[in-house]
Amino acid sequence: MVERGSAASDSAISIRSRRQAIRHLHYASLKDLNMMKFVYRFRRDEEGAALVEYGMLVGLIAVICIGAVTLLGQDVSSLLITVATTLQGI
């Protein structure tokens, strides 16, 4: 039996501590590896990016249409009134 405080006891403790440290490092590296795989897959996945791009395009088209109607609305309205009055006179 090994007495506490002896050299054999210290080496047994240090071996046990080393094994625990190695297990901890191995577990930490697996967690890091899994996180790296997740980040890599996330960066390679472009389905969400394409959806966001289409949404931005639809928004831009809507803004352009609203701007065109706002700017040209009065001119088009007066043109249609003129055409209607001319057609009534025929």
Q: What 3-state class would DSSP assign to 45?
A: coil
CA distance 64 to 71: 10
Please list the alpha-helical segments (H only) found in the chain: 7-44, 47-89
Structure tokens at 75: 């001119």
How does pLDDT run across 26-77, given as a tens digit for each residue? Answer: 565 666 777 777 777 776 766 666 788 899 999 999 999 999 989 988 888 8
Compute CA 69 distance to the chain's CA centroid, rounded to the nearest angstrom.
35
Instruction: Give the pTM.
Output: 0.40
Task: Output 1 or 63, whichever has higher pLDDT.
Answer: 63
